[in-house]
């Protein structure tokens, strides 16, 4: 039994009751334990003979004295042997090492116990706290549901960022991508959303990012009131490919569990591109040929499956609003991952390197950004003002070179004249300090004030 924390008598009794319920639900394994032996190792891929475990099974090699047991996941089979990918390093692994299966294939334990905790892709804590004692099994790949189970997006979602709330209004249950190259401000924008979003539970998946960023994020957000409603799943870039993929799937499973309880969940996955890279490594290890710029078909379908797990539930009334970062390698907007994600997402927020270089944050390219559900969640007056401001911003950006050269003559374009007259108010409206939160109501009010000022100036 786990060590009971030093608390009051009531807390101790509740803890013991929880542990007894957990042990009652655990059926003891009384049969023989099947074992296999490692016969081949190629990079992170090992072949094991004598152990016919289903795909998705977690296995553990017999460790040397005083060393941790290396873990691996079954990802295929060939010629009567199980193909496994290690979740760690191959250092000190040797031929003939015994391997045993553990746990239930394809299932993970989820529950309220993950709130306020930071864990890795296997659910083990990385925050220095005790093990997470969750007892609700959930499929790692999620439950496959019918299309009609997904309820429509009808309510606006408050993300706390003024430019998005006003000009690309999101909806509860929407899936939206943040598309940008490296170093343009994706992490800063995610920080703003995680801090200011209106939700019951926030599940943050930090997949394939730098370890320093993981530590910084946990330090900033896992405190006070935010900690009680947030769970973090983090697998840095130096971890095994299948562990990174499992981390993304675990984050989705946690979000699905809370949605099934009727809660409104914010799921942040940073980044979808790193998940695709992990799926590509696994597929290439299994011999699948590369298709679109080296991405096998299964790698691109992996991100499609993750995105489709978000949305509204018609049964429970809960919702998962998914926000996914998509790294455009080399600022290439035609990258296969960007194209695949954009085709299935319900909108995209594009960050511009040129805007970021001007010192403007968040560096959102308003004309290139789109929310496909804004027509359903915003009232007509809001949409009219948003379209008007988007038009002025687009007119100014498309004529920026002519303006810098002094080749534009006032009066030639009424919309551009309005944009030039309101440049300072527009810049102030679009900019927002990283530590500020602007609710949806205040964002719409600021848009109304700006556009009323523009109409009054045009009439004067």
395-441 pLDDT per residue, tens? 888 888 777 787 777 777 788 888 888 889 999 999 999 889 999 99
Question: Which ranges of the chain have pLDDT less than 50?
Answer: 1-7
**CA-to-CA separations, 376 to 152, 373, 382, in angstroms, rounded:** 9, 5, 12
State the pLDDT at residue 186.
87
Query: pLDDT tens-digit profile of 295-306?
Result: 888 888 999 999
Domain ranges for the chain, please list them: 35-101, 107-375, 382-458
State the pLDDT at residue 20.
67
d(CA 41, CA 54): 20
Helix (H, G, I), strand (E, B) or coil at 289: coil
State the pLDDT at residue 23.
62
Query: pLDDT tens-digit profile of 59-73?
Result: 988 877 767 778 889
Instruction: Please name the fold of domain 382-458.
Output: Substrate Binding Domain Of Dnak; Chain:A; Domain 2 (1.20.1270)
- Assess whether the previous peptide bond of 318 is cis (omega < 30° from 0): no
State the pLDDT at residue 7.
46
State the pLDDT at residue 213.
84
Q: How do beta strands 35-42 and 45-49 pair?
A: antiparallel
CATH of 107-375, one of 3.40.50.720, 3.30.565.10, 3.40.50.12240, 3.40.50.410: 3.40.50.12240
In which element (H, E) is residue 45 found?
Answer: strand 45-49
**CA-to-CA separations, 251 to 114, 227, 265, in angstroms, rounded:** 10, 16, 11
State the pLDDT at residue 3.
47
CATH architecture type of domain 35-101: Beta Barrel (2.40)
pTM over 0.85: yes
d(CA 426, CA 420): 10
Helix, strand, coil tally for the chain in percent (to 5)? 40, 20, 40
Q: Are 210 and 271 in contact (CB under 8 A)?
A: no
């Amino acid at each position: 039994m786990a060590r009971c924390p030093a608390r009051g008598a009531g807390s101790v009794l509740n803890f013991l009751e929880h542990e007894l319920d957990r042990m009652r639900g655990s059926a003891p394994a009384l049969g023989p334990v099947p074992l296999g032996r490692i016969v081949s190792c190629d990079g992170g891929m090992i072949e094991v003979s004598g152990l016919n475990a289903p795909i998705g099974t977690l296995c553990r090699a017999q460790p040397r004295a005083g060393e941790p047991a290396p873990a691996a996941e079954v990802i295929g089979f060939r010629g009567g042997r199980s193909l496994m990918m290690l979740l760690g390093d191959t250092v000190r692994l040797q031929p003939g090492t015994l391997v045993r299966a553990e746990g239930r294939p394809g299932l993970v334990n989820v529950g309220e116990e993950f709130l306020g905790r930071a864990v890795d892709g296997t659910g083990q804590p990385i925050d220095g706290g005790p093990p997470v004692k969750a007892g609700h099994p959930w499929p790692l790949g999620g439950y496959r549901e019918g299309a009609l189970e997904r309820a429509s997006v009808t309510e606006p979602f408050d993300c706390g960022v003024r430019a998005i709330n006003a000009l690309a209004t999101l909806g509860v249950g929407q899936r939206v991508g943040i598309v940008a190259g490296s170093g343009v401000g994706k992490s800063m924008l995610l920080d703003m959303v995680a801090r200011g979003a209106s939700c019951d539970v926030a599940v943050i998946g930090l997949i394939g990012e730098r370890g320093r960023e993981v530590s910084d994020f946990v330090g900033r957000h896992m405190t006070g009131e935010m900690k009680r409603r947030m769970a973090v799943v983090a697998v840095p870039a130096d971890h095994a490919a299948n562990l990174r993929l499992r981390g993304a799937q675990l984050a989705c499973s946690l979000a699905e569990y809370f949605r099934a309880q009727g809660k409104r969940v914010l799921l942040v996955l940073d980044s979808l591109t790193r998940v695709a890279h992990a799926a590509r490594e696994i597929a290439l290890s299994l011999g699948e040929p590369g298709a679109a710029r080296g991405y096998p078909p299964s790698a691109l379908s992996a991100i499609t499956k993750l995105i489709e797990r978000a949305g509204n539930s018609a049964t429970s009334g809960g919702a998962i609003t998914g926000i996914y970062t998509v790294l455009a390698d080399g600022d290439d907007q035609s990258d296969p991952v960007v194209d695949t994600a954009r085709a299935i997402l319900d909108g995209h927020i594009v960050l511009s390197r040129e805007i970021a270089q001007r010192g403007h944050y968040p560096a959102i390219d308003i004309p290139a950004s789109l929310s496909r559900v804004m027509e359903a969640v915003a009232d007509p007056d809001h949409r009219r003002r948003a379209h008007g401001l988007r038009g002025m911003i687009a007119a100014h950006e498309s004529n920026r070179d002519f303006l810098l050269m002094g080749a534009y003559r006032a009066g030639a374009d009424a919309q551009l004249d309005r944009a030039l007259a309101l440049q300072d108010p527009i810049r102030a409206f679009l900019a927002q300090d990283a530590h500020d939160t602007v609710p949806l109501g205040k964002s719409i009010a600021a848009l109304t004030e700006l556009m009323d000022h523009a109409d009054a100036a045009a009439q004067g």
